[in-house]
Amino acid sequence: MHLTTSFQRLEIRKISCVTVLFLALVFFLPSTVQAGKLEGTVIGRKGDLKKYVRISLFGREPKTTFTDGKGIFTLDAPDGRYGLSISEKGNEQTFEVEIPGRWRFRVDW
């Protein structure tokens, strides 16, 4: 009887470990798999690179960044479709984007 009880405890412990491992995979794996990146360049109407303009991603995970000195920006967000706003000194344009992706945005100013 003592041997059977020990065996049952071992089986329960094994099942518990498998359950914890499964739950960890279910909850943590999707967040790492879905992480994506949006990279882009903003170009003005005259072909000039738009430096230090505000880039706002809106949708299920809003984020904001600015272009660098070469008009380039990067945003990390889960894969999917988003709206993107580019704004500078009262000018603003919006675009629809998909992550992951690499884009060139031409603005009218």
pLDDT in tens, 53-66: 999 999 888 999 99
**pTM to 2 decimal places:** 0.68
Residues contacting residue 41 through CB under 8 Å, at least 6 positions apart: 49, 67, 70, 71, 72, 73, 103, 104, 105
Q: Which residue has the higher pLDDT, 7 or 104?
A: 104
**CATH code given to domain 36-106:** 2.60.40.1120
Q: What is the pLDDT of residue 35?
A: 76
Domain residue ranges of the chain, discontinuous segments joined by +: 1-33, 36-106
20-66 residue pLDDT tens: 655 665 565 554 445 799 999 999 999 999 999 999 999 888 999 99
Q: Which residue has the higher pLDDT, 1 or 68?
A: 68
